[in-house]
Amino acid sequence: MRLALVSLMVAVLLASATEAAVSRGNFKDPAHPGKCVVDGLVLNAGQQARHPKRCERILCWNNGDVEFHSCGAVGLPPNKKFGDYKTPNADYPACCDRYIINA
C-alpha cells in the first residue's frame, strides 16, 4: 500500500510538470499612450508577446498594465536535477522545457 501511494505521488508530480508564475506591473510610457512598453517592446492593449530578454509571456492590458507569465515551479523526482534548457529561444511556454538528468 505504501509503495502504491509513493508511486502515485511521483506520477502526479511528473504529470503536473509545471505551473506558471504570474506577476503584474504598470509599464506605461508617455511616448506611447495607452500602450505597454517592456524593454523596448511596445504592445497594444489586448496584445501578448514573448518577453524580449526572458522566457516569459507578456500580456498587455489597459493603460500600461502588464501581466507576466514565467516558467514557475516544477516538481522533480528523487535523485534528479535540471539540465540545460531544451529550446531557450522558443516561444513561451516551450522555452521553459528543460532536460531532467541524474543528480
Instruction: Please report, in tens digits, the pLDDT of each residue of the chain (103 residues total).
Output: 443 333 333 333 333 445 689 999 999 999 999 999 999 999 999 999 999 999 999 999 999 999 999 998 888 999 999 999 999 999 999 999 999 999 9
Domain ranges of the chain: 19-102
Nearest to 64 by CA among 21, 31, 22: 31
For residues 39 and 53, the answer to whether their CB atoms sit within 8 Å is yes
